[in-house]
Amino acid sequence: MTLTLDSGGAAPTDPVRTARRLAAEAAGEQDSARLTALTAELRALDRPDLGLEIIATRSPETTDSVTEQMLCLESLGRYADALTAAGRLAHLAPASADGLRHEIRIRQRPGNSGLSQLTAARLRAVVTSTKNLRTVLTALPLAKVPAPLVRILSDAALRHAPASLTGLLSRAWGGRLATRLAELGVAFSLALLGRLRGGRRIHVTSLGNFTRLADLVDRVDPLIRRLDASEGKDAHALIVFLFDGYPNEKLYELYQRRCTFVRCRNRLTKKLARLCIAALKRGGRHTETTVDYRFNNQDFLRYPPAIRFTTAETERLQSQMRDAGIDPDRPFICFGLRDMAYYQFYGDVMRIPLTAQGKRADTHHRCPPLDTYLRFARHWADKGYQVVRMGLRVSQAIPDDLNPLIIDYANGPRSDELDAALLANCWFLTAGDTGLFSGAAAFDRPTILSDLFLIRNTMYSSNKQTPSIFVPKLIYDEHEGRLLSFREQIYLNPVFSYADDCLKAGFRIVHNTPEDLIDASDELVERLAGRFSASPEDSDLQRAFHKIYAPSHMGFGSTGVISSNFLKKHANLLD
């Protein structure tokens, strides 16, 4: 989503204020067609929530209004409700090819039963013309269509478009044959590989084009935990295709003890890997990995860690901690924060300097100030705790005149190995919108995710004693002199991704304050000690906040909680 200039070329317009204007217009609108049009505009602005409120409560039930209601529900990830609306649309317009096209798409969404529940009567009612038949054939994955429905399509093709019959049958039965052959080939290959691996069940997956620490943990770790629980630690073997990137090398080594990474470094190996992945997907044996917290946020809580250090490694790393000025026998807190030096480093790794990365370089406004975190560090150092500043690359060093218990490890003898050891052994981690959060989750350490920018993602929890705590950034509207509501932030995060867009549109990101961090950390410590007791007000506010998320958001069903004091302070943003 990008910002554009209005017709006069003067002040920039944006989805936030446009959504407000459309919602206000809808509040006084009586015409059904106009209400439907306003709903469609809001959905296009990524505000299907507002569109649904309008169309479901204000507009009479017509073909157009039910279609728009169905599309809003689908956008929100409420697929079962969208399918119910599709049934109402079929009753209103049984011969609508567009209605059936939408229904076919929704039936294949997660949680629905696929095409097995698509009825013969529904299909016959639509394929009564050449145009409708073509629309349906374009929408249907014919290799997955039940045989009785293929016969209905074949009969319709004979009546309306005989020339398409050969292609239809080829796509339907040829696709099925190709899928069955792929299934047999993949099953045979994996069975053979399993026998060579001691009779283990083989699982194959792949990572993205550029893997970092967070990608490695969020994608691979929950999968290993899940397989350990369902099949037994020694009963499965996991093969992971890995392309470019720079994951923490120690974490990579630890996960390598649990799975086999196939590193694809040149064009040939990458092409062969992708052909292999395509065959596995066709045969239904490619195990999907995801950073979508909706699908993995329970795995960290249900199952024990997938990786650990050996005794010899632990002793050696404790010695390295002492050399770095950290006493491993005393509690220590780790913290790190988003820093553009980190993105410069990754630009060097990718051989694309930050200056050549386009808009990626224009995200400096999301990096919180170091001074905020130093005041948080002083709070805990003054209580006698070691506080260790982490970071793969950092722009600023910590001043020398602070409490000696504040240790600038990022500008000292940092290493991937010692990074992993610190994340595994810290009392808790405060991650200022960084992937360090995932590193701590690999070892089930308690975490505060502060200065959270992508509020629609929230976070998952890993520590069995306490949920992780997050503290979101806020967005200030300079034109209207007010903070955006949490719901506006959740739905319109992309508007604020880039500094120049924010500046032109008159929005300003508000970073967390030291008090925000201290309050969140005090709450986390109270939860760890079993002393935290949520008041009825706290519980009501938490429920109200989490209720804002739609199933389509990665933060839906999050196992993390928002800082209680922060939420009480900004309860007015719950609209």
Burial pattern 83-119, b for ≥16 Cβ within 10 A else e, equals bebbebbbebbeebbebbbbbbebbbeeeeeebeebe
Q: Which amino acid is at 174?
A: G
- Give yes or no: residues 333 and 213 share one domain: no
Residue closest to 110 by CA, chosen among 352, 302, 290, 235: 290
Does residue 55 register a pLDDT over 50? yes
Same-domain status, 325 and 450:
yes
Identity of the amino acid at 89: L
Say yes or no: 277 and 335 in one domain: no
> Structurally, how many domains does the chain consist of?
3
Q: Residue 482 domain-assigned? A: no
CATH number of the domain within which 373 lies: 3.40.50
Summarize pLDDT for 242-295 with one digit per residue, the tens: 998 889 999 999 999 999 999 998 999 999 999 999 999 988 899 988 888 888
- Whether 11 shows a pLDDT value over 50: the answer reads no
If asked whether residues 97 and 59 sit together in one domain, one would say yes
pLDDT for 273: 92
- Shared-domain flag, residues 242 and 361: no
Question: What pLDDT score does 8 carry?
Answer: 36
Domain boundary among 227, 258, 291: 291
What integer pLDDT is reported at residue 568 of this predicted model? 97
Residue 191 lies in a domain: no
Place 3 in a pLDDT band, splitting at 50, 70 and 90: very low
Summary mean pLDDT of the chain: 91
> In sequence order, what DSSP letters do the residues of 361-400 get, joined into one string?
GG-GGGSPPHHHHHHHHHHHHTTT-EEEE--SS-S-PPPT
Checking if the pLDDT of 7 tops 50, the result is no
Q: What percent of the chain has a predicted confidence (pLDDT) above 70?
A: 96
- Nearest by Cα to 97 from 72, 68, 129: 129
Regarding whether 281 and 352 lie in a shared domain, the answer is no
Q: Do 129 and 260 have their domain in common?
A: no
- Given a cut of 80, is residue 525 above it in pLDDT? yes
pLDDT in tens, 335-368: 999 999 998 888 777 777 666 666 767 899 999 9
Go through 470-509 and write b for each residue having 16 or more CB atoms within 10 A of its CB, e for each that does not: bbbbbbebeeeeebbbbbbbbbbbebbbbbebbeebbbeb
Does residue 97 belong to any structural domain of this protein? yes
Tokens of 195: 């026998």
CA angle 471–474–475, rounded 5-degree value: 160
Q: DSSP code of 466?
A: S
Q: Identify whether residues 254 and 358 lie together within a single domain.
A: no
Residue 544 included in any domain:
yes
What's the average model confidence in pLDDT over 315-326? 96
Q: How many helices (H) and strands (E) does the chain have?
A: 26, 17
The C-alpha angle 105, 53, 98, rounded to 5 degrees, equals 25
Q: What CA dihedral angle connects 44, 79, 183 and 186, to 10 degrees?
A: 70
- pLDDT 10s digits, 423-441: 999 999 999 999 999 999 9
Give yes or no: residues 337 and 263 share one domain: no
CA dihedral 538, 543, 545, 551 (to 10 degrees): 160
Phi, psi dihedral angles at 16 (to 5 degrees): -65, -55
**3 state DSSP class of 286:** strand
Residue 276 lies in a domain: yes
**Spatial contact of 200 and 235, defined as CB atoms under 8 Å apart:** yes
Which of 291, 324, 347 is where one domain is finished? 291
- Inform me whether the pLDDT recorded for 460 exceeds 70: yes
Q: Say if residue 262 is in the same domain as residue 355.
A: no
Of 291, 326, 356, the last residue of a domain is 291
Residues contacting 460, CB < 8 A, separation 6+ = 293, 296, 297, 300, 301, 441, 468, 558, 559, 560
Q: Residue 121 belongs to a domain with what CATH number?
A: 1.25.40.10
For residues 242 and 336, membership in a common domain is answered with: no
Domain of residue 50, residue span: 4-141
Return the DSSP state at 59.
S
> Does a structural domain hold residue 305?
no
- Using the Cα atoms of residue 333, residue 334, residue 336 and residue 341 in order, give the sign of their dihedral: positive
Percent of the chain with pLDDT over 90: 73
pLDDT score at 275: 92
- Dihedral of the alpha carbons of 253, 256, 262, 267, in degrees to the nearest 10: -20
Residue 296 CA to residue 301 CA, distance in Å, equals 10
Query: Widest CA span of the chain, in angstroms?
Result: 86
- Asked, for residue 388, whether it belongs to a domain, the answer is yes
- pLDDT at residue 173 tops 90: no
Judgement on whether residues 442 and 400 belong to the same structural domain of the protein: yes
Sign of CA dihedral 415, 419, 422, 424: negative
Q: What three-state secondary structure class fits 80?
A: helix
Q: Does residue 498 sit within a domain?
A: no
| Lateral strand order in the sheet of 482-483 | 482-483, 474-477, 507-510
Looking at residue 355, its pLDDT comes to: 66
Confidence at residue 13, expressed as pLDDT on a 0 to 100 scale = 57
